[in-house]
Chains A and B, each alone.
Chain A
Amino acid sequence: MRKSTGLELFLRGTVARGYPRIWGAHRDLSWLLFDVLIPLVNTSAFVFLYRALHAPEAYIGFVVLGGAMSTYWLNVLWMMASQLYWDKQEGFLELYTMSPVSTMAILLGMGVGGLYMSTVRAGAIAVIGTILYGVKFDASQWGFALLVFLVTMVALYGLGMTLSSVFLMWGREAWQVSEALTEPVFFLSGMNFPLSKLFLTIPGVLTIFSAIIPVSFGLDAMRQLLFPGQIQGIFDPWIELGFLAAMGVVFVTAAYLMLRRMEWLAKVEARLSLRWQ
């Protein structure tokens, strides 16, 4: 049997980890109902809150777009960052570590599979939300908006990979950290309101935290492109795209370095197979 090495092995590892996520999504569609329903219902609650406050109609669009983007953050948090914790609980992490495949390839596979699932989910929320609440997007710069989205995803999933290396060391606190990070990131990334309004409200140090969450600038740039003239962005979309690209490079590099370090530490401290602690 021919042995795979190098890039071929890396890609085969990626495909092997991505396959169950993509294929599994088609085998049992019940997840779609729940995963679309939960964010859609939450998004609807915020839509009606804006309506109760007599907000301009553009804000409804901001909330729907934010609701769609929230699915990516949830995916990164629960199915990337804390995934290695679940894999450890189920006994898969030992198998990954014993195999010749790089952990980066496993994480990339998770990311690609998760991106697919999240895109189905986000697309459904965006389409249903747009129809239900009559959101009017300006599609004149859709190509640029798509580019911003893709670069945001690279940075976001790079952040997910970095976090997963940290989560590798953790036990039950991984669950708690994921729980604790969900809503604060929704707040700091301006999922439900323009980022510029948030930056006027919170102390300066928090704006730095906000800026290093890729969804923040990604969402701000996309809102500027899809709702032109109805929102004041933090920076011009091109500048925000530059930030996002830089973040993508930094996070992916950091993930590579940290994963090696954390995997070593986890072996030294015998945490790779430690469960229920």
Chain B
Amino acid sequence: MDYARPHLNTSDKGEPLKMTLRENLRTLRIAAWLGWQVEGNWADPLVFFIFTLLKPMASALILLVMYQVIAGGQRADFFGYLFISNAFFTGLVIQLLVGLSWTIIDDRENYKMLKYIFTSPARHLSYLVGRAAAKGAIGMMTTLILLGTGVAFLGLHLDVARVQWGWLGVYFVLGIIILAGMGLILAGISLVIARNAFAIGQVVAGSLLLFSGALFPVDTLPSMLRSASLAMPITYWLEGLRRALIGGIPMTSGTNPQPLSPALAVYDNWQLLLILGVCAVVSAVGSYLFFNFMEHQAKERGMIDRLTGY
């Protein structure tokens, strides 16, 4: 009997679409706020800011020294390639991929709150997307500060007049959808495995660091690995972002400039858009279906409140 149960606790079946949407947005908003509190309320804002920046800044400095040691500042083209990709990779890819799977483990094992979230009216998928939004915001801040520091102090050349803002916006949004989808898939896997769940995000992020051309043109990889690299949407996302920020295909400097990555230079912006658009749709739909399937599996196996001590 419908009147015997509060409508917020019912399943989506039979619920008006407007109410479903409203409840999802409400969950998303509260989850984003909660995510921000979890990430940031352990310290005052200045300390939090410093700690948030230390890791990505150090990773950028590692790359800077590696570049200086070998190139001695002679290959500004390569430095731009390296620094821009790393800023987006460190800020957003790691935050969203590692962060979302970690959210499941943290809520389940550390705070022991996952079971309460599942027994509340909160929409689970919206809850995770909300948590991802908080991580994405922190990641975005990191990326912007890294790019700003690169331009101000580290010799990164970015001409604001040449930035293709439209492409930058489109690529950025599509990439975030793809990354959030991948994060949800990893979160779904984390729901049903006990051991090593904490490492899944790191393995995937680490693999992407190697395969996505974040640190070097994919052409440097052996042919088999290059094929794997060209099968990954993040490779195209980073290329799109580099092009949008630099104002064209990244080229070698000198009298006879060549594309830094010939394998990616064969795609124009519209082709990149098509690839990323298709990947974003597949990622959004696929991650939705996959997460729901994994959630069902986790419930069937009684894993929502399982504590493993990992």
- A and B, one complex? yes
- A183→B68 contact, CB < 8 A: no
- Residue A102, interface by CB 8 Å: no
- A176→B206 contact, CB < 8 A: no
- Residue B232, interface by CB 8 Å: no
- Residue B207, interface by CB 8 Å: yes
Q: Closest residue to B207 on the A side, CB-wise?
A: A41
- B203→A53 contact, CB < 8 A: no
CA distance A54 to B54 in the complex (A): 29
**Option from A28, A48, A173 in Cβ contact (under 8 Å) with B210:** A48
- Residue A95, interface by CB 8 Å: no
How many CB-defined contacts (below 8 Å) exist between A and B? Answer: 116
**Option from A34, A48, A184 in Cβ contact (under 8 Å) with B54:** A184
Instruction: Decide yes or no: A38 and B215 within 8 Å by CB, A176-B51, A183-B58, A193-B65 being known contacts.
Output: no
Instruction: List A contacts of B69 (CB < 8 A).
Output: 55, 59, 193-194, 197
CA distance A33 to B203 in the complex (A): 10
CA distance A162 to B210 in the complex (A): 35
- Residue B221, interface by CB 8 Å: yes
Query: From residue 234 to 274 of chain A, which have CB atoms closer than 8 A to chain B?
Result: none
- A31→B217 contact, CB < 8 A: no
CA distance A204 to B243 in the complex (A): 37
CA distance A41 to B43 in the complex (A): 33
- A90→B309 contact, CB < 8 A: yes
Instruction: Decide yes or no: A51 and B220 within 8 Å by CB, A28-B195, A187-B65, A193-B69 being known contacts.
Output: yes
- B62→A89 contact, CB < 8 A: no
Q: Determine the main DSSP class of B at the interface with A.
A: helix
Instruction: List B contacts of A187 (CB < 8 A).
Output: 58-59, 61-62, 65
- A53→B66 contact, CB < 8 A: yes
CA distance A93 to B66 in the complex (A): 42
- A34→B203 contact, CB < 8 A: yes
- B221→A201 contact, CB < 8 A: no
- B63→A53 contact, CB < 8 A: no
CA distance A35 to B203 in the complex (A): 9
CA distance A90 to B308 in the complex (A): 11
- Residue B199, interface by CB 8 Å: yes
**Option from A31, A50, A176 in Cβ contact (under 8 Å) with B66:** A50
A49-B82, A179-B51, A184-B55 known; 12 other A-B pairs, CB under 8 Å? A35-B199, A37-B206, A38-B202, A41-B203, A42-B210, A45-B206, A45-B215, A51-B216, A171-B42, A176-B51, A181-B54, A276-B111
Residues on A lying within 8 angstroms of B by beta carbon are 28, 30-31, 33-35, 37-38, 41-42, 44-46, 48-55, 59, 89-90, 171-173, 176-177, 179-184, 186-187, 191-194, 197-198, 201, 276
